A and B are shown apart, each in its own frame.
Chain A
Amino acid sequence: MRRLINLQPNRVLKIALGIIPFLLILLVYQIGSDIRKAENEQDKLLPSFAEIAAGINRMAFEPSQRTGDYEFWEDTKSSVKRLSIGIAISAVIGLVVGLAAGAIPMIAAPLSPLITAISLIPPMAILPVLFIVFGLGELSKVMLIVIGVSPFLIRDILQRTQELPREQLVKAQTLGGNSWQIILRVIFPQIVPRLLDAVRLSLGAAWLFLIAAEAIAATDGLGYRIFLVRRYMSMDIILPYVVWITFLAFTLDWCLLKFSRVVFPWYHAEK
């Protein structure tokens, strides 16, 4: 008998083992829902799959009676837009500031203590400030993501830049490069794939800030919707929304990874 630590599942078994926990959760849910429904026909806590399907249908495939929109898709559009803008702005800030500070000690000296201090501010604590300064519109929601995510990105990129082998920078100097040329041709192209890594790591936080901002002040969006229907205990809408948000988060992460693999094969080969 081989040791347990040496036993490897083959491909098929690995996939099957991966799916089983999900099926188990669905099964346990079904049983729980049945038990509660047997006690009380009107139970809202664990709606049946049929009720959930009806909820999805109502939100996604029938126009809202109030606005005439397909709310599910409108919510998705608004949220994804806010998230993308917030992340894009954060990524640009993270890249520019992190790279400048990582490559130029004279910029790092005044900046890195400041960034460290800013990154310690809990972003949710200054959400009211954002609402006061930027109003309740789109800007403050995007700003929350930017403020929540960009200090992390700056610090990560700063560190990645400083981690590039010294030998490369010395070599570039012996090839006659000036500071700007070395940043442009040697550092920047190597930092971009590392930025994608950092962005992927920050997606969870970005979603958190997005949903929080939407829950507090918005008139549409995925976060707005789940907090709105909470008042009516509409688990038949909340649950599919949560699954959908998870799916979106997964897809975005997966796309970034694929993109990075295709565009920067040398980076992934190195690791």
Chain B
Amino acid sequence: MTAFIQLDRLSKHYRDNVVLENLSCKVAEGEFVTLVGASGCGKSTFLRLLLGTESVSSGQLLMAGKPIEQEPSPDRGIVFQRYSVFPHLNVRENVVLGIEFVESKWLGRLFGKGRKEALEKADELLSAVGLEQARYKYPHELSGGMQQRLALAQALIKKPKVLLLDEPFGALDPGIRKEMHDLVMGLWRQYGLTIFMVTHDLKEGFHLGTRLWVFDKVRHDPHAPNRFGSTITYDLSLQSKDKALTIAAIDEINAQLQAVE
């Protein structure tokens, strides 16, 4: 396997709070990795390392063979659980902003013909996420599910190589979540993305990805809970034909997660 994203004995700590410890892994381009684990075990921290808003404490995190850039950039898109869209812009403007930033250095705003072309591109993406009817609405007029669709469209206009999703559907109703799953799977195939998605819903993790990571601590110090960090305790390929093995693994992981929480 050629590694697109590579973790090499990666650790992350905040002062004396060890969050992640000794992660080593390779991820190929086009994989869909879902991350599960108890609350506070460092899943979001790992995404922030990929995003570049945090840096590794030791070890390496490589993308295409080079250390990950230490600032967010358009090759790594993100959708958070909340606050991913701009409340003062309507749906179209939210998506067009990504084009305007590139084409209008000083004003960050397009006019006339340039704007028209950009709007057409945005409308294409809005159709892809099923928001063409809501083009002129503001985020506060959208449901939670529609806001997340918008956040996806906004990220995709940059044609990112990697898409990071931090519990993107955690605040949505179960019925709507199903629709969103189909949408994400579709977008993943259509745009050839490499996706890292954090979820607290284990079923979601199994259903969506090509690969499931379980984050957990392997060592515990009862007197100093922060002394040891989490690592990837399970790295399951979900494309394996052996469903029985997978199901057995689900049960075990479930039991383990419940024991932690």
Contacts and interface: CB of A to CB of B under 8 A. Distances in A.
A144 to B, nearest CB: 34
27 contacts: A167-B82, A168-B84, A168-B86, A170-B51, A171-B78, A171-B86, A173-B71, A173-B72, A174-B51, A174-B76, A175-B97, A175-B154, A176-B73, A176-B102, A177-B108, A178-B101, A181-B108, A185-B101, A190-B87, A190-B88, A264-B88, A266-B87, A266-B88, A266-B138, A266-B139, A266-B140, A270-B140
B112 to A, nearest CB: 18
Interface in A175-227: 175-178, 180-181, 184-186, 189-190
A250 interface: no
Interface in B31-79: 51, 53, 71-74, 76-78
B14 interface: no
Contact of B86 (A170, A184, A186): A186
Contacts of B77: 174
A23 interface: no
Contact of A270 (B84, B87, B106, B151): B87
A49 interface: no
B143 to A, nearest CB: 14
Interface range on chain B: under 10, 10 to 19, 20 to 34, or 35 or more?
Answer: 35 or more
Interface range on chain A: under 10, 10 to 19, 20 to 34, or 35 or more?
Answer: 20 to 34
Q: Which of B86, B98, B105 has the most CB of A within 10 A?
A: B86
Contacts of B108: 177, 180-181, 184-185
A113 interface: no
A31 to B, nearest CB: 52
Contact of A269 (B140, B151, B158): B140
B106 A185 contact: no
Contacts of A61: none
Contacts of B76: 174
B154 A171 contact: yes
A175 B71 CA distance: 12
A200 B157 CA distance: 39
A174 B140 contact: no
Contacts of B87: 190, 266-267, 270
Interface string B153-174: 0110110100000000000000
A133 to B, nearest CB: 38
Contacts of B72: 170, 173-174
B83 A165 contact: yes
Given A176-B158, A266-B88, 14 more contacts: A167-B83, A168-B84, A168-B86, A171-B154, A174-B51, A174-B74, A175-B154, A176-B101, A178-B105, A180-B108, A181-B108, A185-B101, A266-B140, A267-B87
Contacts of A181: 101, 105, 108
B115 interface: no
Interface of B: 51, 53, 71-74, 76-78, 80, 82-88, 97-98, 100-102, 105-109, 138-141, 151, 154-155, 157-158, 160
A185 B74 CA distance: 17
Contacts of A266: 87-88, 138-140
B193 to A, nearest CB: 14
A264 B102 CA distance: 27
Interface in A29-79: none
B83 A175 contact: no
Nearest to A168: B83
A196 to B, nearest CB: 14
Interface in A255-271: 264-267, 269-270
Contacts of B101: 172, 175-178, 181, 185
A52 B98 CA distance: 64
Nearest to A186: B86
A263 to B, nearest CB: 11
Contacts of B107: 184
A176 B74 contact: yes
A165 to B, nearest CB: 4
Contacts of A267: 87-88
B84 A171 contact: yes
A210 to B, nearest CB: 33
A108 B60 CA distance: 33
Nearest to A170: B72
Nearest to B87: A266
Given A167-B82, A167-B83, A176-B73, A189 B140 contact: no
Contacts of B98: 175-176
Given A173-B72, A175-B154, A176-B158, A185 B109 contact: yes
Contacts of B83: 165, 167-168, 171
A170 B72 CA distance: 7
A178 B97 CA distance: 12
Contact of B155 (A165, A168, A174, A270): A174
Contacts of A172: 86, 97, 101
Contacts of A168: 83-84, 86
